[in-house]
Amino acid sequence: MTPAPPIRDPLTPPLLDAQGRTMTYLRLSVTDRCNFRCTYCSPASWGGKKDLLTPEEFERIVSVFARMGIRRVRLTGGEPLIRPDIVEVSRRIAAVPGVERVAITTNASHLERLAVPLREAGVTQLNISLDTLSEATFRRISKQGEFATILRGIDAAVGADYASLKLNVVVMRGVNDTEVPDLIAYAHARGMVPRFIELMPFGQGTPVPTAELVDGLRTTGLSLVPEDEQNSVTAGPARYWRAHGGLVGFISPLTQNFCGGCNRVRVASNGDLRSCLGGRAQAPLHTLIRGGATDAELALAIRGALGEKPEGHRFTEPGAGASLLSMMGIGG
């Protein structure tokens, strides 16, 4: 009789999804609450989850993922910096064996105070959301938040010696699309890489296709040359162009679907694993942890959810937006 093949340890890399793509990047929401109310992201009715993970639980989840091959962790929200223990969370995750980079996506409203402590805790990269240089336009996008604190927070981040600073801009037709050249100049003057994101169907507004943005920038006289992807500054969905002042990135989930190269998995602030931004497959990691699950049992649940990960997000299908959670609810 032929002996049965050995049972594979579920914690052993690689971590694959249903399409055979290797997952190396974890997006971890630490809160789904925010001090802003941007129309494209956070509905006014969103109350947020009440049972958030603790710093120890975040560390446990990241440790399991790292053993399975995750190397990059991004802390998201909501606004992650409104958690009073965000520095502790960052320090614990940065210290997990196998984690090579820790990044945070933030609206910068608390960076004036936290930019240096977060870098000292092990955060290597900040992606800062800034959709406009106009206080009036900011107030049109969000009824909450103080515009001046954002700008001071960005300046604090620039002075804190991060390895990478990126400026994320969600482009909305008739709202901020004419500001793109000014936002590029603002970012490059501060040593940041600006990135322009096609609006996704999670809230209000009309998207501007990337090709239209690029053509419009060229008509203003801005020279844009496609960056060699082999030398790209990121393994993520952005595609970069070289301008006179530095790189300019474009993230195009609607017109230039990037799902084929997906390497990421998401965990919401209450511990629900979501295999895809637009999918439904999940695993309740928090329930398993609090029920005494072993690391191997957590790994099996993670692999089970990723085994249902779709080939793509299907955002462009008719009526797709109606079935999606808000961006805050998913964790970005």
Q: Is residue 177 part of a domain?
A: yes
DSSP states of 149-168 = HHHHHHHHHHTTT-SEEEEE
Phi, psi of 109 (to 5 degrees): -65, -20
Q: How far apart are CA 213 and CA 181, in angstroms?
A: 10
pLDDT, residue 310, reads: 73
Q: Is residue 20 part of a domain?
A: no
Q: Is residue 105 part of a domain?
A: yes
Residues 6+ apart with CB under 8 A from 317: none
Q: Is residue 11 part of a domain?
A: no
Q: Is residue 298 part of a domain?
A: yes
Give me the CATH number covering residue 119.
3.20.20.70
* Domain interval for residue 234: 25-330
pLDDT, residue 332, reads: 57
Report mean pLDDT in 10-residue bins for the chain, 332 residues.
64 95 96 91 64 95 98 96 98 98 98 98 98 97 95 98 97 97 98 95 86 95 83 67 96 76 89 78 90 98 90 52 51 58
pLDDT, residue 233, reads: 44
Q: How far apart are CA 61 and CA 313, in angstroms?
A: 25
Side chain identity at residue 28, one-letter code: L
pLDDT, residue 329, reads: 56
Q: Which helix (H) or strand (E) holds 239?
A: strand 239-243
pLDDT, residue 262, reads: 85
pLDDT, residue 200, reads: 84
For the entire predicted model, the pTM comes to: 0.89
Q: Is residue 262 part of a domain?
A: yes
Q: Is residue 18 part of a domain?
A: no
pLDDT, residue 10, reads: 97
Q: Is residue 12 part of a domain?
A: no
Tally of domains in the chain: 1
pLDDT, residue 21, reads: 93
